[in-house]
């Protein structure tokens, strides 16, 4: 499973979720889905903007994790 590292990048830069939300200019629902790793896709433009904001590469935005079965995820 591929996950966003947005929370880690915010912590490293000392910025808040609200600050990032303002920078991205997307709807709050879309932003929270992105932040919570609940989105199914992300546009190339949003990846580009995130890379510019965090001064990083796309490799820094994502991490690969093992899938957690849905039954365990609900506990």
Q: What is the pLDDT of residue 49?
A: 94
Cα 12 to Cα 9, 15, 29, 73: the distances in Å are 5, 8, 24, 27
| Residue 6 to residue 60: CA distance in whole angstroms | 9
Provide the residue range defining the domain that includes 49. 2-73
Average pLDDT over residues 41-65: 93
**What is the domain count for the chain?**
1
Average pLDDT over residues 41-55: 94
Residue 72's pLDDT band, with cuts at 50, 70 and 90, is very low
The CATH number of whichever domain residue 52 belongs to comes to 1.10.260.40
Average pLDDT over residues 40-57: 93
- In order, the DSSP letters of 35-58 are HTT--S---HHHHHHHHHHHT--H
Please name every residue paired with 64 in a beta bridge, in sequence order, or none if there are none. 2
Q: What is the pLDDT of residue 23?
A: 93
């Amino acid at each position: 499973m591929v996950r966003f590292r947005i929370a880690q990048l915010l912590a490293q830069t000392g910025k808040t979720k609200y600050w990032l939300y303002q920078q991205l200019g997307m709807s709050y629902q879309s932003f929270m889905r992105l932040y919570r790793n609940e989105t199914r896709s992300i546009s190339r433009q949003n990846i580009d903007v995130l890379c510019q904001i965090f001064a990083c590469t796309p490799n820094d935005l994502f991490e690969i994790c093992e899938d957690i079965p849905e039954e365990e995820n609900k506990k």
